[in-house]
Structure 1
Amino acid sequence: MHEQSAAPEAKAVTIAPLQIEAGSFQLPQANRHRVLIHVSAATRSYCGQVGRHFVRRAGDIDLVPAGEEGGFEAETQFKTLELSLSPALIENVATELGSGSFGRLETRHLLRDERIEHLARALENDFRVGSPSGALFADSIGIALAVRLLELEEKEPERTSRLSDLQLKRVLDFIEAQIQTPLSLDTLSKVAGVSNSHLRTWFKAATGLTVHRYVLRRRIEKARLLLLASDFSISEVAHLTGFAHKSHLAHWMRREIGETPRGLKRTRS
């Protein structure tokens, strides 16, 4: 059930407190930019696009630009604030700031930004008491939000000159959780929230390894531990660690650590 304001669509900025039931939460394409701020306790959700679970916490922000769609599967009921901004507002502010090239916003997930959250709360508080501050207040909030969103876009090259600690942790955690399944650079880049080319460059800068080499080594290490500490067959270990077959595992294990699956099995006896 959605509880939202009846503010006219023509306004430059509107706010709608939403209560979303557990299950599928879908945002169809719209002709306005949408900023959603999670206001409930930690909510576990599943994103089919990247094939993994996320935990949304109070203050987490999702930005869905005009013309884009979004959504996820929530395990429990949750509340969010949906801010809706007209593209004309963003374009006008960008022009005034001399930042016309940033007229198009990029999709963002689980963003943390105290200024956006503060502006949203101020607009929500005014809305709750009947908007006594009038259109001027709402317009001022809308402009301030537009400025902040444009600042994020302008600072993107500097801000994302490397993977943040959180981005890197998400990628590493995803690799560990999905080590058995085929992994692609496209999937991992979506988990990190960056482009494929940036992930390739920044992942190596952060870990000293290419994405492929890191995943390979994590698979070999997990396979080594399973061979030493479990009764799984070599074929079963290969399957559990994402190798095509036991010969594939043996090839890379010999190449990377100078050991073979059979040799490791023998050390247990």
Structure 2
Amino acid sequence: MNRGAMRPQFASAPSGVTMVSRHIEAGVHRLSRAPYHRIMVHKSAATRSYCNQVGRYFVRLAGDIDLVPAGEEGGFEAETPFDTIEIVLQPALMERVAAELGGKALVARLDTRHLLRDQRIEHLARALQSDLDTGAPSGPLFADSIGAALAVRLLGLDEPDIDRTSRDGTGRLSDTQLKRVLEYIEAALHEPLSIQRLSRVAGASSSHLRTWFKVAMGVTLHRYVLRRRVERARVLLQQGDLSTSEVAELTGFAHQSHLAHWMRREIGQTPRDLRRAQLPR
């Protein structure tokens, strides 16, 4: 099994938090069970990988966060090399913070998370990275305060106020959120796209994403995805290199009839119509 080349760049902080920068090669990787909590912050451009836990492909973008609680394991297959920051939080730190919160948050609530978007976690990770990259001049107190802040945020991930507003606080999708959702849809048209999956990409609740997306694009999220799939199918059919069944599979349709149904509704033509139009007269 290819474990991947890993290049540590940052030293450990003498506290309950540690950070290391890793370079992961393409291939199959296994995350063994560990006695500590791991936060991975993706640093590279769009990277496609297959997650063994959920049996599905994901496209990770810079800033995407994966959380693996202590005692949990995982695995993935990366199609291309990528860089990531790994932050380690010791259970003792998490337990201390949970106790200080008066029992309102429990470490036991931590779940494995993928494609998490959280501005506060990103900000704290950048602050810790900057300090450790320059030799940790701020000392252990700074690292410990960052670790405690990360623990508070992780313990509050399921609080209802996390996505009441968009990232810019206006009650709509920010330009960055909308761009991420649109880019993600384009990269994953051939895969099943659920509202839960896209809401994680946007960093918003499912209900908010549905409402805010329609306001931003003038069409429902479901209809937008269908239109993009139909347009991708139209281009592939006109190129003439693939069969209709292959085009249906590559554009996320269940079968040829499903593709034909939506093409007829969206552009008034079926795959057969497009094929006929390509024939020499």
Q: What's the TM-score bracket when you normalise by the shorter of the two chains?
A: 0.5 to 0.7
Work out the CA distance in 1 between the residues paired with 2:242 and 2:135: 65
Work out the CA distance in 2 between the residues paired with 1:152 and 1:193: 15
Q: Which residue of 1 aligns with 2:262?
A: 252
Residues 70-126 of structure 1 deviation map (CA, whole Å, 9 limit, x = unaligned)? 554273474x55332233423433453568236544635475523332134335645
Q: Which residue of 2 aligns with 1:90?
A: 94
Aligned amino acid, residue 83 of structure 1: I
CA contact (8 A) 1:119 1:145 kept: no
Q: Among 12, 15, 20, which residue is 2:18 paired with?
A: 15
Work out the CA distance in 1 between the residues paired with 2:191 and 2:114: 25
Asked if residue 219 in structure 1 is aligned to residue 238 in structure 2, the reply is no
Work out the CA distance in 1 between the residues paired with 2:214 and 2:178: 11
Gaps in structure 2 of 5+ consecutive residues: none
C-alpha RMSD over aligned residues: 4.6
CA contact (8 A) 1:162 1:202 kept: yes
| SS of aligned partner of 1:48 | strand
User: 1:219 and 1:20, CA in 2 relative to 1: closer, same or farther beyond 3 A?
Assistant: closer
Work out the CA distance in 2 between the residues paired with 1:126 and 1:16: 12
CA contact (8 A) 2:196 2:206 kept: no
| SS of aligned partner of 1:35 | strand
Asked if residue 183 in structure 1 is aligned to residue 192 in structure 2, the reply is yes
CA shift for structure 1 position 219 = 2.6
Deviates more, 1:114-123 or 1:91-100: 91-100
Task: Name the % identity.
Answer: 45
CA shift for structure 1 position 152 = 6.2
Deviates more, 1:19-28 or 1:196-205: 196-205
CA contact (8 A) 2:116 2:201 kept: no
Work out the CA distance in 1 between the residues paired with 2:264 and 2:231: 12
Work out the CA distance in 2 between the residues paired with 1:4 and 1:81: 10
User: 1:165 and 1:51, CA in 2 relative to 1: closer, same or farther beyond 3 A?
Assistant: farther
Q: Which residue of 1 aligns with 2:57?
A: 51
- What TM-score comes out, normalization by structure 1 length? 0.64
| SS of aligned partner of 1:31 | coil
Q: Which residue of 2 aligns with 1:122?
A: 131
User: 1:53 and 1:13, CA in 2 relative to 1: closer, same or farther beyond 3 A?
Assistant: same
Work out the CA distance in 2 between the residues paired with 1:233 and 1:24: 30
User: 1:241 and 1:21, CA in 2 relative to 1: closer, same or farther beyond 3 A?
Assistant: closer
> How does 1:92-171 map onto structure 2 within 5 Å?
92-97=96-101, 100-101=104-105, 103=107, 104-105=109-110, 107=113, 109=115, 111=117, 113-123=122-132, 125-126=134-135, 133=139, 136=141, 138-147=143-152, 149=154, 154=159, 155-159=161-165, 165-171=175-181
CA contact (8 A) 1:186 1:196 kept: no
CA contact (8 A) 1:16 1:81 kept: yes
User: 1:226 and 1:140, CA in 2 relative to 1: closer, same or farther beyond 3 A?
Assistant: closer
